[in-house]
Structure 1
Amino acid sequence: MRPIIGISTSENNNENTLSHQYVKAVTKAGGIPVILPNIAEHHELESLTNMIDGLLLSGGGDIDPTFFGEEPHPKLGLIRPNRDEFEMYMIKDMLRMDKPILAICRGCQILNIAAGGDMFQDIYSQIDEDLLQHTQVAPISHGSHFVHVKEGSLLHQITKVQKFKVNSFHHQANRHIATGFQISGTASDGIIESIESTVHSFVLGLQWHPEGMLPNGDQHAKAIFQSFLDACKKS
């Protein structure tokens, strides 16, 4: 049986939207993608988490800072509270059941917040150091900076390297990592690029977009999705 993968969506003008690259990535790796609306009735979500074998948290807009005890920074962008609440519920239930999660870009941040961590609302105004360009103007398929990988981490086991190039499309980033998680990848300027659970079988958050690098045959992106689907087959 091919595992069923729930993929979270963005909201725009009363529509749920999702890049088809996520669907293609899951399908190519051997899964059946199911696109998830941002359901407000939380009492109905347990049947949804029971149905899916894995959760893919997609990228998108900014996150409501009140979820981690802060108020809006002047550089905070558009937020969708319904999406935040839906994803946080899904994350907590998937963690409870120890089902695999792959969290991408914004997904990496909401994963950390749902588990008890926090984040920078805007890295360029909240960090007093020179930073790389984390919102690249190059195509999504282009790796614009390096990620340095923690030896022995899940990310290291998947990619089998300690340094590789990734794309970058974010102005927010994780700050304090939740208990039970570790940092497994950083940019050369210290921005957290990857987090992972140390107590679950497969929970991996990536600040970049591996689905966008797949069309050019990026082997690390391919390995990430294949490892996620392999874990979902076992869940």
Structure 2
Amino acid sequence: MKKIGISAGLYINNKTFNDYKMTCVANNYMNAVILAGAIPFVVPCIANEEMMEEILKTLDGIILSGGEDFSPKFYGEEVLDKCGDITPERDEADVLLARKALELKIPILGICRGSQILNVVSGGSLYQDLSYCEEKVILKHQQGKNQALATHKVQIEENSILQELYGEEIWINSFHHQAVRVLADSFKVTAKSTDGIIEGFESVLKDHFMIGLQWHPEMMATRGNQDMIRLFMKFVEKL
């Protein structure tokens, strides 16, 4: 069976002890990998290059998971007023993981924050908040607590993996206030919301399979959404 590493978040619990840090991954990611017929592994939140290389040697693919806002310093900007909470330790670890996976050409699925990191590490940039977009954003991209609910649709580009899976459009969930601004040259846009936000992209490099998604397919897949389960199955198929 294929082995997929999932980037961990860094949860800080100050209720039990001061500055008590825990490495963790939401069960949604692990269960989605299992549903797709692969074995999930947690990639710890460490920024040690030698250790990260050794971890990646044992894996067939990587999921860059979602989470808090990604520091704008990585795309050359200062923090603006509407940028949210940042966890520097996780940023450093995720950037290292993404860079090493790119160097080793390990297949990558980036989800929400993970897709943003994949884009930035490849040379792209982000909107620190959707209110900073040049075009007016009218859809609700931060939908609330119902993880499985599809709240808006995305329009899918031709000649893409998403088109192969879903055709011209699909309804998705949405939990973000940041988004891709400039897409890196190694990717092409494969899905946009009806108000123009980039919701999906994939690699133009024939020798490296990569997909970035702004929504959370793992939340929908683990609650019985067959379309999203097929997405994870397609990822495993490409490993």
- Fold-level similarity (TM above 0.5): yes
Q: Where does residue 174 of structure 1 map in the other structure?
A: 180
Q: Where does residue 68 of structure 1 map in the other structure?
A: 75
Residues in 2 aligned to 1:38 and 1:138: alpha-carbon distance in whole angstroms: 26
Q: Give SS of 1:182's match.
A: strand
Q: Where does residue 46 of structure 1 map in the other structure?
A: 53
Residues in 1 aligned to 2:110 and 2:168: alpha-carbon distance in whole angstroms: 20
Residues in 1 aligned to 2:208 and 2:73: alpha-carbon distance in whole angstroms: 30
Q: Where does residue 214 of structure 1 map in the other structure?
A: 221
Q: How many residues align?
A: 230
Q: Give SS of 1:178's match.
A: coil
2:121 to 114, 137, 153: 114
| Shift in Å, 1:36 | 1.4
Residues in 1 aligned to 2:102 and 2:45: alpha-carbon distance in whole angstroms: 19
Q: List alignment gaps of at least 5 residues for structure 1.
A: none
| Shift in Å, 1:179 | 1.2
Q: List alignment gaps of at least 5 residues for structure 2.
A: 13-20
Are the aligned partners of 1:42 and 1:86 in contact in 2 as well (CA < 8 Å)? no
Cα–Cα, structure 1 residues 225 and 50, in superposed 2: closer, same or farther, change >3 Å? same
Are the aligned partners of 2:7 and 2:63 in contact in 1 as well (CA < 8 Å)? yes
Residues in 2 aligned to 1:142 and 1:91: alpha-carbon distance in whole angstroms: 29
TM-score, structure 2 length as denominator? 0.92
Q: Give SS of 1:73's match.
A: coil
Residues in 2 aligned to 1:115 and 1:163: alpha-carbon distance in whole angstroms: 27
TM-score, structure 1 length as denominator? 0.93
Matches for 1:191-202 after TM superposition, within 5 Å: 191-199=197-205, 200-202=207-209
| Shift in Å, 1:130 | 3.7
Residues in 2 aligned to 1:76 and 1:25: alpha-carbon distance in whole angstroms: 29
Q: Where does residue 190 of structure 2 map in the other structure?
A: 184
Q: Which moved more, 1:82-91 or 1:49-58?
A: 82-91
Alignment RMSD (CA, Å): 1.4
Q: Give SS of 2:63's match.
A: strand
Are the aligned partners of 1:108 and 1:207 in contact in 2 as well (CA < 8 Å)? yes
Cα–Cα, structure 1 residues 207 and 27, in superposed 2: closer, same or farther, change >3 Å? same
Residue by residue over 1:12-31, the C-alpha shift from the partner in whole angstroms, topping out at 9 and shown as x without a partner, is: 21112221011111011111
Q: Where does residue 167 of structure 2 map in the other structure?
A: 161
| Shift in Å, 1:139 | 0.8
Cα–Cα, structure 1 residues 99 and 186, in superposed 2: closer, same or farther, change >3 Å? same
Q: Give SS of 2:149's match.
A: coil
| Shift in Å, 1:99 | 1.6
Identity %: 38
Q: Give SS of 1:213's match.
A: helix
Counterpart check, 1:18 vs 2:25: yes
| Shift in Å, 1:131 | 2.2
Q: What is the letter of the counterpart of residue 212 of structure 2?
A: G
Q: Give SS of 1:176's match.
A: coil
Q: Would you identify which runs of 4 or more consecutive aligned residues in structure 1 move more than 6 Å?
A: none
Matches for 1:75-154 after TM superposition, within 5 Å: 75-137=82-144, 139-154=146-161
Residues in 1 aligned to 2:89 and 2:173: alpha-carbon distance in whole angstroms: 28
Residues in 1 aligned to 2:30 and 2:90: alpha-carbon distance in whole angstroms: 19
| Shift in Å, 1:34 | 0.7
Are the aligned partners of 1:10 and 1:18 in contact in 2 as well (CA < 8 Å)? yes
